[in-house]
Structure 1
């Protein structure tokens, strides 16, 4: 196995050499920088690559305002839910080895989840009225947020009190997480709806059981080291701590208030309960390597990390239009006709229908602190954006930068 330092990376090119306008890229940067100048963001790092060549890496604004510390291209960010696509790739690696198939029941790999029932309403004391789910949730449903699980964040949902009682995301390890989920009812019948959920955290438990490795070790050995993602992990070693970005919160009377991580401890060593749905830290350059692997359909400079078929499945919409017509929301993502969901990420399978200026098959996701990325296979293009802002009113930077970057493409 190559060491991270020896692993090849992306090349470099001038924008016009790969069919992009320098002036157009300037306008993308200007839009992000304007949010910094307006005091909405402290700072940002963005990266654009096309045809396997990095054409622009921009470090803008500040990491820390007091003392004044400029943002750097090697700043390490908490990427939260941008962990999910990495987990999807890990699942693809195990699918290549014949360890699971999409129609398998989840309970085949997590027997603690055998016999789950659905909450078909609640009685006057707030207890769930249990009913048959129709069929046991499948692996395909687990990878598409249609298995019936929830996160337990919606205060208006009676199910939330049950999640808060079990606290699955506070489990001591992933075995404990699965046991806690096994004591919860499903939120809806599998396949009948879409709901942002702990499904990817359950995938993390499956990866550990099928591989016999911890999730951090599997990610490191099978993905991060081969790609040379030297700064991506579930922890920040003490020697890199100074490079980890400050985290800010905006809400109510607070504007860019520096805060400790409220969604999980910032760790200096790999955690016992590494979550498949959140927890990684990374840099723009590291995550661009992962994004390029998706564009390469699993090949990294002649080394096959995962099959083209597994990546294609991950980046292909798995939801019927009849389900998308209901409309579903997660952060800045509005699933709708033409904009569906693959494995662990959203897909523009019909950009015209969705009203988006991207190529067919564009795959994307974002993170709770505002990080975002997309890969556009039709235009052989990727974009990674890194900020650290927790806010319900955060600007829709993915939508803004996608629109502007579309105008920078010279050879459509």
Structure 2
């Protein structure tokens, strides 16, 4: 995505965009984040890219538009797109049982309670979890990170995200009970990591190779991968942690060590590094419904399914949280990302059909089909009190719209 435009040519106010940038800048000035890189595009043209603050504090290195960030869970929408590519080939359907593609998960049981020794009371699932449920976090898996969840000790014992490879991940998941009957609740989970294993088996390629050949290379995403090669490591931003007495403390990647070569276990739910410009290309592909400058990367039908809410309103009425995301009536979940299918009901200043997600280190993005608009923000802060930058920038960017039409 190389075309550019002035804000006014794209139906945006320069002063309004200044206010968006100022809100991010204040978090840097206040010492909340070290630096940020952001990008706004509308009608297929980049309107503004800003690099502010520092990518590295020691030694001092300013943020740049080509700074490389760990995007953590913003890997998930990319995995969803890869699943769409395989759906186009007729290799899976939403109502397929997960075990049809991962036989190790054929004998899953459901934890219906726990005895006085903390052991799960198990029952058969009402139905085998399906791929639709896997793509929407409703299959019954979890991450095993919630201390209040009685399944957490079992996940800590099996350590699925410490698997040697994706086959090992599936084997470990097969020894864990489901947290609820499939389709009856929503739980942030290892579901997208299991999708990575499905992609490998259906394609016959490693997940990094599939992403590179079918998504990154066609889109020109030259800095996006599951590793940072040695020649690019100076461009990678420092990961910071804030919590308790610590403020912007440089820390190593706590999930996996940052790799300088393709890892054997590349997880579909996290692990990518990218730049703001690279990720904007992916976001633009979503807005284009799978077309990239006349080349069809994935079908419009697959992208539409990914960006369509798949959860019933009675389920959303219960409310579910994942970091800054709060699923609720009007704000549901598509495939591997959240969807504002009724912004008025959700009380959100975005267009209908806005699809978004974020990452553990504070990266965020959304695509708004109604306004033909996208925004990508990159920071590197692990913190339970990280600022809600997505919500802040969405409100300010909506105020910057000079028109509300899509075509231009």
1:196 aligns with 2:188: yes
Q: How far did 1:67 drift?
A: 2.1
Q: Is the 8 A contact 1:10 1:289 kept in 2?
A: no
- Give 1:5's aligned residue: none
- The alignment partner of 2:396 has SS state of helix
Residues 15-48 of structure 1 show CA distances to partners (whole Å, capped at 9, x for unaligned) of 1001000000000000000000000010000000
Residues 257-293 of structure 1 show CA distances to partners (whole Å, capped at 9, x for unaligned) of 0111111110000011100000000000000000000
Aligned length: 404
Q: How far did 1:241 drift?
A: 0.5
- The alignment partner of 1:13 has SS state of coil
- The alignment partner of 1:24 has SS state of helix
- The alignment partner of 2:66 has SS state of coil
Question: What are structure 1's unaligned runs of at least 5 residues?
Answer: 1-8
- The alignment partner of 1:11 has SS state of coil
Residues 351-383 of structure 1 show CA distances to partners (whole Å, capped at 9, x for unaligned) of 000000000000000000000000000000000
- Give 1:292's aligned residue: 284
1:40 aligns with 2:38: no
Residues 45-103 of structure 1 show CA distances to partners (whole Å, capped at 9, x for unaligned) of 00000000001000000111222211100000000000000000000000000000000
- Give 1:282's aligned residue: 274
- Give 1:60's aligned residue: 52
- Give 1:97's aligned residue: 89
- Give 1:223's aligned residue: 215
Question: What are structure 2's unaligned runs of at least 5 residues?
Answer: none
- Give 2:244's aligned residue: 252
- The alignment partner of 1:383 has SS state of strand
What TM-score do the two structures reach when normalised by structure 2? 0.99
- Give 1:243's aligned residue: 235
- The alignment partner of 2:242 has SS state of strand
Residues 308-361 of structure 1 show CA distances to partners (whole Å, capped at 9, x for unaligned) of 000000000000000000000000000000000000000000000000000000
- Give 2:264's aligned residue: 272
1:322 aligns with 2:306: no
1:368 aligns with 2:367: no
* 2:152 pairs with one of 160, 170, 188: 160
1:132 aligns with 2:124: yes
- The alignment partner of 1:133 has SS state of coil
1:109 aligns with 2:97: no
Q: How far did 1:10 drift?
A: 3.2
- The alignment partner of 1:61 has SS state of strand
* 1:309 pairs with one of 293, 301, 309: 301
* 2:172 pairs with one of 147, 162, 180: 180
What TM-score do the two structures reach when normalised by structure 1? 0.98
